[in-house]
């Protein structure tokens, strides 16, 4: 298709793909003798910058067939076999280990010369907390604003603890949504999607996204095995980090990640018409409560428990 353009691609659409939380549009369409994915995204330039950076690091991302560099791109179709699909059918850890290997590779090869200025810093941590308070606690959980306001000091303490724990380990490539529905398997290889929100951030945020993923429901034993596998894989990188330090940082970033996820589920379900996200809230809350208990945030734990009343009344 020498004169390939967006209009021509739209004429070859097979189906619209219903995605998770993305506001972008995805279509499966015909392209030459293959099937490809058409992405419509007003911020496609950012996606393309991160895509090129990952390709330069030899990371398995979808092949780029075409782009207008304005709002559209045509990408390789990775199929329908995600880590989420695999783990639901057979809850074994083979592909989770391969996903961790890919994560370590991204952190090793893609942390330097990152083309996006955004970082996981204090303003972003506070944004995640505000998002969680607004959409999960107040809107979904129907917790009174006065009660939420009383937790201000503990939210501030959480922010400080996260920043202290990551201060020497916050210069790494961070996918930001490294969970089982964004990790695909094609030809027995891990392939990564939905990386357009990537930034530089803490070593353990993506690990937290993967191991305390409300979609996948890993057991405590499985989580520990994968933590051990990750630590074994990063040791050759000579990162000055003990196993205990890894666990402490991991638990704090787990809290932040699960807050962000719960805020997203609530917002998508209640404001974007994507009701199916409601079914992931119970597991997300359970994981958040686990993290708050581990790190002794008693007031935050209490207010998350208080939000449970609204969920009992809802029918998924």
pLDDT bucket at 314, cuts 50 / 70 / 90 = very low
CA distance 69 to 44: 7
Q: Tokens for 199?
A: 């930034």
Q: What is the pLDDT of residue 1?
A: 43
Contact residues for 232 (Cβ-Cβ < 8 A; gap 6+) = none
Band of pLDDT at residue 134, cut at 50, 70 and 90? very high
Task: Quick: pLDDT tens for 141-172.
Answer: 999 999 999 999 999 999 999 999 999 999 99
Q: Is residue 204 part of a domain?
A: yes
Residues 66 and 183 in one domain: no
Tell me the mean pLDDT in the region 256-275.
Answer: 96
* pLDDT for residue 190 is more than 50: yes
CA–CA separation, 107 and 112 (whole Å): 9
Q: Are residues 57 and 170 both part of a single domain?
A: no
> For residue 209, what is the enclosing H or E element?
helix 205-211
DSSP-derived 3-state class of residue 63: coil
Question: Are 127 and 16 in a shared domain?
Answer: no
129 and 237 part of one domain: yes
Which of 76, 106, 134 terminates a domain? The answer is 76
Question: Do 49 and 162 have their domain in common?
Answer: no
Compute the chain's Rg from CA coordinates: 20
Work out the percent of the chain whose per-residue pLDDT is above 90.
89
Task: Kindly report the CATH number assigned to the domain that includes residue 234.
Answer: 3.90.1200.10
Domain hosting residue 48, numbered range:
6-76
Is pLDDT of 137 > 70? yes
> Given this model, what pLDDT does residue 23 score?
76
CB 140 within 8 A of CB 310: yes
Token pair in block for residue 260: 């962000």
pTM (2 d.p.):
0.94
CATH code where residue 25 lies: 3.30.200.20
pLDDT at 2 over 60: no
Tell me if 53 is assigned to some domain. yes
DSSP letters, 105-173, are HHHHHSSTT-S---B--HHHHHHHHHHIIIIIIIIIT---HHHHHTTHHHHHHHHHHHHHHHTTS--EE
| Per-residue 3-state assignment (H helix, E strand, C coil) for 25-50 | EEEEEEECCEEEEEEECCCHHHHHHH
In whole angstroms, give the CA distance from residue 291 to residue 268: 23
Rounded distance, CA 271 to CA 139, Å?
10
Complete DSSP assignment for 166-207: HTTS--EEE-S--SGGGEEEETTEEEE---TT-EEE-TTHHH
pLDDT over 90 (residue 194): yes
Specify if 285 maps to a domain. yes
Buried b (16+ CB within 10 A) or exposed e, 283-311: bbbebbbbbbeebebebbbebbebbeeee
Q: Are residues 72 and 90 in the same domain?
A: no
Q: Is the pLDDT of residue 226 over 90?
A: yes
Residue 21 pLDDT: 67
Round to whole Å and give the CA distance between 6 and 27: 12
Q: Tokens for 242?
A: 């003990």
Mean residue pLDDT across the chain: 94
Residue 10 confidence class, pLDDT cut points 50, 70, 90: confident
Cβ-Cβ contacts under 8 Å for 215 (sequence gap 6 or more): 84, 179, 180, 181, 280
Read off the pLDDT of residues 32-75 as tens digits, 9 standing for 90 and up: 889 999 999 999 999 999 999 999 999 999 999 999 999 999 99
Q: What is the pLDDT of residue 313?
A: 47
How sure is the predictor about 8, in pLDDT bands with cuts at 50, 70 and 90?
Answer: confident
DSSP state of 97: H
Residues 128 and 12 in one domain: no
Number of domain units in the chain: 2
Q: Which pair of structure tokens corresponds to residue 200?
A: 């530089």
Q: Is residue 1 part of a domain?
A: no
Report the percentage of the chain scoring pLDDT > 70: 96
Q: Is the pLDDT of residue 306 over 50?
A: yes
Q: Which residues pair with 186 in a beta bridge?
A: 189
- Distance, in Å, from the CA atom of 36 to the CA atom of 78, rounded to the nearest integer, reads 9
Looking at residue 223, its pLDDT comes to 98
Q: Same structural domain for residues 68 and 105?
A: no
pLDDT, position 169:
97
Boundary (domain end) residue, out of 14, 48, 76: 76
Task: Say yes or no: 203 and 124 in one domain.
Answer: yes
Band (pLDDT 50/70/90 cuts) for residue 105 is very high
pLDDT score recorded for residue 3: 56
């Amino acid at each position: 298709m020498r004169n390939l353009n967006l209009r021509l691609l739209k004429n070859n659409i097979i189906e619209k793909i219903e995605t998770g939380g993305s506001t972008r549009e995805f279509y499966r369409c015909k392209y030459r003798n293959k099937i490809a994915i058409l992405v419509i995204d007003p911020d496609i330039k950012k996606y393309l910058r991160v895509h090129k950076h990952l390709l330069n690091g030899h990371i398995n991302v979808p092949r780029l067939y075409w782009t207008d560099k304005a709002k559209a791109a045509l990408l390789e179709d990775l199929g329908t076999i995600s880590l989420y699909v695999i783990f639901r059918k057979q809850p074994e850890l083979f592909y989770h280990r391969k996903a961790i290997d890919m994560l370590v590779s991204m952190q090793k090869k893609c942390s330097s010369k990152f083309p996006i200025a955004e970082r996981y810093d204090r303003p972003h941590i506070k944004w995640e907390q505000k998002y969680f308070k607004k959409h999960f606690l107040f809107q979904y959980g129907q917790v009174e604003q006065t009660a939420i306001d009383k937790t201000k000091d503990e939210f501030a303490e959480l922010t400080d603890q996260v920043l202290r724990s990551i201060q020497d380990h916050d210069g790494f490539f961070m996918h930001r949504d490294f969970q089982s529905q964004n990790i695909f398997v094609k030809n027995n290889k891990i392939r990564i999607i939905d990386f357009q929100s990537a930034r530089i951030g803490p070593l353990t945020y993506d690990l937290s996204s993967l191991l305390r993923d409300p979609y996948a429901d890993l057991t405590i034993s499985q989580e520990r095995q994968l933590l051990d596998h990750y630590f074994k894989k990063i040791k050759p990188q000579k990162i000055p980090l003990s196993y205990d330090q890894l666990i402490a940082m991991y638990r704090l970033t787990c809290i932040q990640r699960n807050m962000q996820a719960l805020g997203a589920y609530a917002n998508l379900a209640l404001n974007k018409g994507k009701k199916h996200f409601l079914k992931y809230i119970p597991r997300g809350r359970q994981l958040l409560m686990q993290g708050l208990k581990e790190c002794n945030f008693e007031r935050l734990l209490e207010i998350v428990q208080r939000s449970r009343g609204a969920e009992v009344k809802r029918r998924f």
